[in-house]
Structures are given as C-alpha cells and as structure tokens.
Amino acid sequence: MMMSTPVPPTPVQQQTEPMNRLDDPAASGSDTDRVLVREFGRYQLQRILGRGGYGVVYEAFDPVLNRSVALKMPQPQRLFSPETRERFLREARMAGQLDHPNIVPIYEVNEIGPVCYIASALCLGPDLTRWMLQQPHPVSAIVGASLILTVARGLNHAHSRGIIHCDLKPSNILLQPMSDSGRYPQDHLTTGSWVQLTLDGEVGAVLPRIADFGLAQLIHPANDLPVVPTPFQAGTPQYSAPECLRADTLAAHPGMDIFSLGVMLVELTTGKRPFANTDELLRGTPPQIEAAATTAPLPADFIRICERCLAFRADQRYPTVTELMTDLECFLTGNPLPRQRNARLQRGLRTIRRIARPTLGGILIGSLMMLGIVHGIRKLAPDPPPEPTEQTKADASAQSEATRLSEYRQLASQTRLANEFVRSGRWQPAREMLSGLQESVGPLAVQSLSWRWLWNDLHAFRQTLTAEGSLYTASYHPNEPILACAGSAGIVWLWRIPQGEILHILPTVGSEINELSFTPDGKRLIAITDHSTIVVWNVPQFTAPVTIPCRLGKLFSLVIAPDSRSVTIMDNHGIRQTWDLEQQRLISETVHPFAKRPWIRHDRQGEWEITVRSDAIRFERIVGVAREREVQLNEYVSTVAIDPAGEQAIIATLSGGLYRLQLNDSTPLELLTRGLSRICSLCYSPDGRYLLSGHDDSRITYWNARSMERIRELLGHQRRIWHLRFRPDGHEWISLSDDGTVQQWPYLETLGVLESPIPQPAGTPVVGAFAFTPDSQRLLSWNRDNQLQLWDCASRELIGTSSKEGAPPLIRLGMLPNRSTAISIHADGSLRSWKLPVHRPLLGPATLISQPCGQLPPSPEMPNDPPKTLLVVSSNCLLVGSESGRCRVLTQRGNSWEVDAEFPVLMDLSQSTIDAPNGRVWVTTRDGKLESWSVNPPRLEESIPISESPVRLCRVNPKHQSLAWSSDQLPGTLHLGRLREWNRSLPIKAHRGPIRQIAFSADGQECLSVGSDQRLYIWQTESGQLLRWHCEYRGVESIAVAPNGGMVAVQHHPFNFPQIPSMISLFPTHHPAQQLRSGHSAP
C-alpha cells in the first residue's frame, strides 16, 4: 500500500490558517474563548469579538505600536469575492475620512495575500443590541433621547463629510466605557459625546460609537453637484427606510439614517420595533408608538420626534440630523419643540402664486382668494386658552418637577465624573465640564453645593505649564504679564500669564541656569549659569543675548541693584563680584568669609542680605543702621525666607527641621518642628500672613505665618518642588518642580481658611462650637482660650472677641434669629447672652460681652445630668437636651430664660432638626421611629417607623422633604430619600466606620456626611450617588452649612496630628478668585 505524501500548504493556506483554526468546530469553548497561537502579519490574534454576514472581527494585539485593536476580515468562504473586497475598500474609504469620538476610528487597511483586513480601535463594551437585552425593562424617554443624541452627533459628522451610513442598527452601535482614560483622547470628553448608562450593574459614563461603514454611500453636499444614482444595497430590513426596500437603485440621502435612528429610539423606550414586519412598513402603516409603551406613558414631544423620524415619505422626515439634534436637545432641557408652519397656509399661498395673472380677472380672483385666505387664517387662529383646571395645574406641576429632577440627575452624574477627573489629575476637562453644566442647567448648577465646592477647588489649581528638564528658578516681569522659568536644560521659557500662552523659548546657553531675574525696571532679563557666565537679554525683543564671562566657579547667587544698573553674583567658592550692566565691566571682587558653596539673598524689601553656608547663616542689614548677625547650626541649611516686614527669618534644614529667628533682637534660634520631609523652597505671601514650603516628596504645605501651624497640604506635581514665587500683585503664585512643570495657583486667601482653633477640654473635641449668623455673613467660634470669636466670612477677619476670663467650659452655641444675639450653654448649666455688633468695627475687633441669662435647675432624680444640646426654635423659645435624654423647653421672660415645659419622653436632641416655620422639632427614638413634636406645649404630631433597629443619626430638611439617617445595626450605612417616601430610602455603604454627623445643603438636594474615618462626603439625595469627597482634611470632626448655602464650615485636625488643636476651615461655595481675576488684570 502506498503512503500518501503530505502536501505543503500554499501561501494562501498559510495566511488563512489562523482564521480556519478559529472556525474549527472541534475547538473548545465559545467564540469569545478561543485563543490563537499563530500570528497574522504583525498582529497577534487573540479571540473572536463578533461575526456578520460578510466578515468576522477579532481582538488582536499590535506589538509594533503596543496596543490592542479590532481586526476585521472577510469570512473564509468570501475571501475571493470581488463584492467582499469592494465592500471592505468602501468601508475603509468612508470611515477613514471621519474623525469623531462617536465613530470608531480606522487605524489601517491592508491585505496579506488574498486576505484584506481593517484595523480599528478596540471597544470592549457591548453593542446596543446586547445592552438592551441585559436591561430588565425599556429605558426612559430621557435616557433613550440622550443615547440617540450622542449617536446623532457622530452621524451628523459623517453627513457633513457627505457620507450616508445606510446600515444603522443597534448591533453597529458599540458602547465603550470611559473608565480607562487611555482608550480615548481627553479633548473628546467635554463635547457632549458621552452618556450616563448602567454597564455590568454600575452606573458610569459610556461613549457610544458607530461602526461598520461597509454599505455607506457617498453624496456631495458641498459642491452642489447632482447626486448620481449608484447601485444601492439595503441594510437590515427591520431598520431600513421604506424607500430602501422598494428600489434596486437609489440615491442615498440623510433621511435613510434618520429613519434608522427613529426605529432605535422607539425600540429603546418601548422594547419593541415600531413596525411588526416589512409589509406594514411598505404599506405606510403609521407606527403605534404610544400604544407600544409598556412601563410609563411617553411624553408628547418625544412621540412627535419619533413620528417625524419614522415618516413614510422622506420629505416629511427631518431634512438633516442637525434639526433632529435640536429637537432632542429641546426635549432633554424641557423646552418646547420649534413649531411647524401651518401647512394649509402654505398650500393657500402656493395657490395664489399659481392662479395670479396680470389681468383684471386674475387680479379679481387673486383678491377674492386673498380675502378667503385671510378669513381662513382668522378661523385657524387659536382660541383664547381656557382657564386652567386643577388637573391641568397638577399636570403642569408634575411636568415641571420631572424636568427639574431630570436636570438635577444630569448635574449629579456630570459633577461626579468631573470629580473623578480632578482626582486623576485631569484638571482642564473637569473645568470645561463644569462650565458646560453652568450653561446647560443654569442656576441649578450655581445652587448645587457639590458643583460650587468642586468649582472652587478646581480654580484653586489654575493650570500646568510644561517645560523641559528640572526647573530651578522663575521670575515675574514687574510691569507686563510675563513669567520666565529656567533650569537644568539651559533653556529659558517665557509665558504670558494667566493664559499660559508661550511667548518665547530662548535658545540654550550651554549649561544649567541656576537663577534668573528681570531687572526692577523690566528692561533686561539676567541669568547665571554653571559655566560661570552672566547672560543678559533685552526685553521685550529677547534677541541675541550678551554673555559676560566671570571666570569663577559655578554661579549660584544673583542680586540685582534697585537701579537696575549693576548685578552681584557669588560662586561656589565664596567669591563675590559686582558687574556694571551698562558697560559690562567688573566693579568689585571680594572673598566672602564663608566658603564651601555659599549663596546670598536679599529680603523682599531689600533691607537684609542673607548669606547661607551649609551649616551657618549670616544676616547683614544693608539699609538703615548697619547690623550683622551670624547663626551657627549643627545641621545643613536647605533654604531660608524672611517675612515681608523684615522681622523674622524661617530656616529649613536638610534633616527636616524648621527654625525661626528674630532679626531685630538677640533672641536665640527657636526650633519649630522636626521630622518633615526635606524642604527645598520657602516663600512668604505678600501680606505676610502665610508661608509656603515646597518639599522633596512633591508636597506643598502652607502655614499660618504667625503661629506657624500647618493649615493645608496641596498636591499637584509628581516630583520635588524646587521653587515657589508670588506674582508682584499677590493674586497668584507658582510652583516649579523637578518634573519640568510650572503650576499656577491663586492667592491662598481664596481657599478660605480661618485661623481660629477649636478648644479641646479634657481631650474631647467640642462638636457644635461654631455657628453661622442667620444672614450667613459671619461665623461664631469658641477658641482654645475659652473665648468667643466673631469672624467676617467675606474677608476672613476677626471682628469681635471676648475676654479670657469668666465663662465656664462651653457645651453649645446658638444664634437667635435677630442676627445680633448669640446664646451659649455651659457645663454648669448656665446660659449666657452675647450681644454682637451689627456693623463692622472700624478700629480692631470689638469686645464681646456676655450677660448671664438663665440657669437650668438640677433634677432631683438625676442631679448629675449635664446639658448636651442647645437648639434655637425661635427668638423666644429654646430647647435644651441633657445627657440622660431629658428635653426641656425654655422661654424668654424679660432678660432671662426659664424652663417652661418638659417633654414627656426621653429623646436625643443632638441629631434633631428644627422646623422653625411650623414650630416643630424632628427627633428619633430608640425604637427606630422618626417623630415630629410641637414644641410649646410639647405634643406628638407624627410618628414614622423608619428602622427596625435604633436610629443612630437622623437629619431632616423639612422645607424640601429630604431625609437622611443611619441605624445602630448598620452604623456605616447612610439611608437617603424623601420624608414621605421613607420606605423607599436608598441604603449606601458610606463610611468604613460609624457615621458621626449628617447635614443637608440649603436646597436639600445634597447630603453631607462625616464618619469615624474622619472623611467628608457629599451625596446626591435623589439617587444616592457620591458627588464629592474631601481628601485634604482627613481629620474632619464636624460640619455646618450656612443658612443661605454659600459657606461650609468644617472642624478638623490638620494632617491628623493629635498634638495640633482642631481648626475651623471656611469653604466658600462661590469662587472669590474668579472675582479677583475679573476685577483685576494681570500686571
């Protein structure tokens, strides 16, 4: 028997082998599980993503460009079909002309042997068909319109290039999650091309993308050439326009794709296609859209949009996708659709034009027709609107509420996404997204606490300017909005600020630039280098520089004379030279007594000259009375800063120490702190209130310059901070880093930090030791010295303070509605009344004086029952709760507060809510009920069983019917909802430990929570979405929202250091820095 010799595979077989192996029925697993070993060209095929009638799509990896792609090839049985090759070439030609985030981009089209292929972007999300099958019920009209609107944006881009898709259907719409920022450009994130959908059980941003242009047709909308009929192949019949099914040759037009969008829009919102079969479509049977809705009635405007998309005749549909987008946007924003012109009037006008003749009979007939038309128009004029009925008013109110909730959901989802951008460092897209929200939802955005808080934080970090190499030095022009920076690359970068526009990139000087500065008159820019040269550019030409060789070592120090005519430099050997800039000649040369790489600095006023060696500092007063002082250290000095008043110097060492030295007396050196990471730069604010420090680990810390307490930490760079500098007008400052970036920040005052610490008697932080006045313009706080202080919220200045003696330890503060009287309750049960100044004092803080105004009598049954809570119900009614749960009603009689009644049950008032207009208080009981009580006399009005276990915390916003609570059974879970729909509250796992405090925003739409993990979160009340979390202050203990919603006060421990007293930080929900920028131009 003869043995058969194996035949070697042909080149064609070698190229098609990977495809045949994937299609092998013996292969194990499903299509998506089959893994290839072979390569196809330079691509490594991995698995099948999907199949169609003509081709198959693989997930492949391109090792050359190091990215995953989608590789589309013909089915093996269609490899040699001319029709298939033509379709592939047409798809590549059409899609290759398009560049839009809602269209899958084409990377490459090529062929290997007989196999042609298309490489495109990989979209790992499901297609629209699969996504609809995963939904338990059809989506709402709002979601469906939002999704189709994003698809329409991509389709409009294709139509503007003269390309009609001709095969739009759900399987050709790919839903790409936007969680991976590497899969899409950042500049596409703010164009309105994404939509909020639920994928894999989680709500997130999704980018719909149009794929498969294999049946696309080309038209010529731009050059007015006639459209020549070409062989036309209809797409999927269920989504094709009727004219596509009736003709074999047809000129493509936009109405075909608009019809397909209408079919998908109806299918998304009803779960059914508008036509049961193609017979209904060809007969022109009107779609029954309203009858197909199974979950909720569809809005009338939405049905009108669908009916116009699905019109039987193409001329009755939307003429362009742009008009469809306009109607969808009107529907989503709650605006009425543009009205159509009266068709009967149009027909009448056409009739007049047809029959009018230049004869007497024609004129007579025309006049009669005109009279008839006028009479007809009068009859067609709408009747006066009838008086609205109760039902009409209720429907209008429901529609308005639905529109408001829709806008707020849009605001919440986009604010949440903007917050994710901020946390990942994508500042510019977040700014643009919030700006777009301000335009789309208007006042709703400005009223949102989370939006305004995020807006404030975003503008605290303005922008990043990128250069090359490490940046060591920077200088502001004294008269023009110009910033110069330089460093290790030897290149000088010049930007226009605050826009960040590059003005010049001055060529390299051949070595590192250690320092540069503009002269005081602004006519020159001077730099010193490692090659012992002084480089001088003329401003503003910045032409070829003048180079002055110094013949020294490396130059590290540069001081320019106030008259801008001379410059003093020092090298690393302690040799100091002074040069005349006009004549470029050496004036003097001295050897400094310090050696081993000293450097010299002048203070801000030019009064002191500081010379620093590694372990010693010499201060020399060069203006006024001559004076010298030298300080020896046992540590290496890193950097030094002198305050603007010239009174003290702050010295940082390499070992992480921070020292303070008084310059006007012989006070010894004072150690402030140790254990810091290395400080590379120090800088005072122009007013001397704050001190900035830049660290080796990329942190920027700012300090209270008077008390030298750390206030806040800023993060922005990736590597060490080499330089910090304020703009001359003080409205901005910059940070330079080893990563080659410059970051612009506003003045620290706009971050709104008060300087008053909160006391901690007996080691326990006081919760409630601050309160806003009723007009939200001032804040009361109780400091560690047992003093009451009054702050102005706008200027952050202290405008009133009490004496240090006389008041027992504080329990709570409260404000009466009259704006000028505060009430405090103390540990001994005494009450004090504080008279506050109505107007701001002209000469320093006013003295706040208290008067005893009452004493809580002890209970015979419980003599040791101290007060715990103080609530202000009205100007003449207070509630005081004790540790045991007793609740007493106090009324004012003359100048004294006296106990008038006592609640019959025990209750915890620490988490209660006052409903002042109705004279009620909302409290929780130990059996899980929420109760509403009239205050005087105490009477139970309503009881709601919100929990089966005891309620730990509860907050109610009576005006807006918002409810938030937490139980003992689930102490870290926050329940959010409506007061009258408490049984539908959303449980949210909010904090890792028990929740310690809950507060609502002024409009009740956002809830703030603080947990034992000492983090502050902001939630949307309606949906329970996390909108914002505050990460700079992890030691959050207590929060309070101003009555008008414009401020948030936060009591916290800076940096979680227990040894530092807790502080109050005041965060404005508007942005003062924006007002500064609009009111003051750059110098």
Q: What SS3 string covers 331-350?
A: HHHCCCCCCCCCHHHHHHHH
Decide if 133 contacts 183 (C-beta within 8 A). no
In our burial notation (b when 16+ CB lie closer than 10 A, e otherwise), range 669-690 reads eeeeeeebebbbbbbbbbebbb
pLDDT tens string 213-242 = 878 888 764 434 344 344 456 678 889 888
DSSP string, 237-273: GGGS-HHHHH-SEE---HHHHHHHHHHHHHHHHHSS-
Sheet holding 67-74, edge to edge: 39-40, 43-51, 55-62, 67-74, 115-121, 106-112
Task: Give mean pLDDT, residues 459-486.
Answer: 81
In our burial notation (b when 16+ CB lie closer than 10 A, e otherwise), range 378-415 reads eeeeeeeeeeeeeeeeeeeeeeeeeeeebbbbbbbbbb
Q: Is the pLDDT of residue 1081 over 60?
A: no
The residue count for the chain: 1083
pLDDT score at 514: 87
- Alpha carbons 487 and 474: distance in angstroms, whole number: 9
Query: What's the token pair of residue 533?
Result: 């040269």
Q: Which residues are bridge partners to 113 per DSSP?
A: none
Radius of gyration of the chain (CA): 37
Helical residues (DSSP H) of 843-959, grouped into ranges = none
Q: How confident is the model at residue 599 (pLDDT cuts 50, 70, 90)?
A: low
Classify 1056 as helix, strand or coil.
helix
Q: Which of 178, 170, 165 is closest to 148 using CA atoms?
A: 170
Q: Is the pLDDT of residue 446 over 90?
A: no
Q: Parallel, antiparallel, or unpaired: how do β-strands 616-621 and 627-632 relate?
A: antiparallel
Query: What's the token pair of residue 443?
Result: 């006042």
Q: 40-54, 186-200, 1050-1064 — which one is most confidently predicted on average? A: 40-54
Q: 268-282, 470-484, 855-869 — which one is most confidently predicted on average? A: 470-484
pLDDT score at 751: 40
Q: Is the pLDDT of residue 7 over 50?
A: no
Q: Parallel, antiparallel, or unpaired: how do β-strands 546-549 and 195-199 relate?
A: unpaired
Share of the chain above pLDDT 90, in %: 9
The CB density around residue 520, as the number of other CB atoms within 10 Å, is: 15
- Alpha carbons 666 and 958: distance in angstroms, whole number: 62
- Alpha carbons 579 and 242: distance in angstroms, whole number: 87
Q: Which residues are bridge partners to 1035 per DSSP?
A: 1053
Task: Give mean pLDDT, residues 455-476.
Answer: 74
Please tell me the least confidently modeled range out of 318-332, 394-408, 645-659: 394-408
Q: Is the pLDDT of residue 265 over 70?
A: yes
Number of helices (H) and strands (E), helices first, in the chain? 17, 70
- Alpha carbons 925 and 967: distance in angstroms, whole number: 11
Question: Residue 147 is inside which H or E element, if any?
Answer: helix 141-160
Q: Is 639 exposed, middle or buried (0-12, 13-18, 19+ CB in 10 A)?
A: buried
Decide if 788 contacts 780 (C-beta within 8 A). yes
Query: Who has greater pLDDT, 420 or 136?
Result: 136
| 214 phi/psi in degrees, rounded to 5 | -65, -25
Decide if 125 contacts 60 (C-beta within 8 A). no
Q: What residues have CB less than 8 Å from 287, skipping those under 6 apart?
A: 266, 274, 275, 306, 307, 310
Please tell me the least confidently modeled range out of 212-216, 319-323, 748-752, 938-942: 748-752
Decide if 823 contacts 832 (C-beta within 8 A). yes
- Alpha carbons 414 and 332: distance in angstroms, whole number: 15
Classify 722 as helix, strand or coil.
strand
Query: Who has greater pLDDT, 146 or 993?
Result: 146
- Alpha carbons 256 and 313: distance in angstroms, whole number: 11
Decide if 275 contacts 264 (C-beta within 8 A). no
In whole angstroms, how far apart are CA 924 and each of 624, 908, 932, 940, 951? Answer: 70, 7, 9, 12, 6
- Alpha carbons 178 and 186: distance in angstroms, whole number: 10
Helical residues (DSSP H) of 995-1040, grouped into ranges = none
Q: Is the pLDDT of residue 71 over 80?
A: yes
72 among annotated binding-site residues:
yes
Q: Which of 1027, 955, 960 is closest to 990 using CA atoms?
A: 1027
Query: Who has greater pLDDT, 721 or 224?
Result: 721
Q: How confident is the model at residue 342 (pLDDT cuts 50, 70, 90)?
A: very low
pLDDT score at 986: 80
Q: Is 987 exposed, middle or buried (0-12, 13-18, 19+ CB in 10 A)?
A: middle
Q: Which residues are bridge partners to 920 per DSSP?
A: 915, 934
Q: Is the pLDDT of residue 357 over 50?
A: no
Query: What's the token pair of residue 955?
Result: 């907050």
- CA 174 from centroid of its chain's CA atoms: 27
User: HSE (CB half, 13 Å, CA atoms) of 268?
Assistant: 26
- Alpha carbons 857 and 794: distance in angstroms, whole number: 40
pLDDT score at 1055: 45
Q: What residues have CB less than 8 Å from 254, skipping those under 6 apart?
A: 159, 164, 319, 320, 321
Query: What's the token pair of residue 297?
Result: 């009635």
pLDDT score at 562: 83
- Alpha carbons 780 and 769: distance in angstroms, whole number: 8
Classify 948 as helix, strand or coil.
coil
DSSP annotation of 160? H
Q: Is the pLDDT of residue 298 over 90?
A: no
Helix, strand, coil distribution of the chain in percent, nearest 5: 25, 35, 40
Share of the chain above pLDDT 70, in %: 74
In whole angstroms, how far apart are CA 625 and each of 600, 628, 701, 901? Answer: 20, 10, 35, 72
Please tell me the least confidently modeled range out of 454-463, 893-902, 906-915, 963-972: 454-463
- Considering the chain, what is the average pLDDT of its residues? 76
- Alpha carbons 327 and 335: distance in angstroms, whole number: 9
Query: Who has greater pLDDT, 585 or 863?
Result: 585
- Alpha carbons 515 and 529: distance in angstroms, whole number: 7
Classify 662 as helix, strand or coil.
strand
Q: What is the pTM of this model?
A: 0.46
Decide if 245 contacts 236 (C-beta within 8 A). no
Question: Residue 12 is inside which H or E element, if any?
Answer: helix 11-22
Q: What residues have CB less than 8 Å from 1075, skipping those under 6 apart?
A: none
Q: How confident is the model at residue 580 (pLDDT cuts 50, 70, 90)?
A: very high
Decide if 967 contacts 950 (C-beta within 8 A). yes
Classify 670 as helix, strand or coil.
strand
Please tell me the least confidently modeled range out of 74-83, 996-1005, 1009-1018: 74-83
Q: Is the pLDDT of residue 36 over 90?
A: no
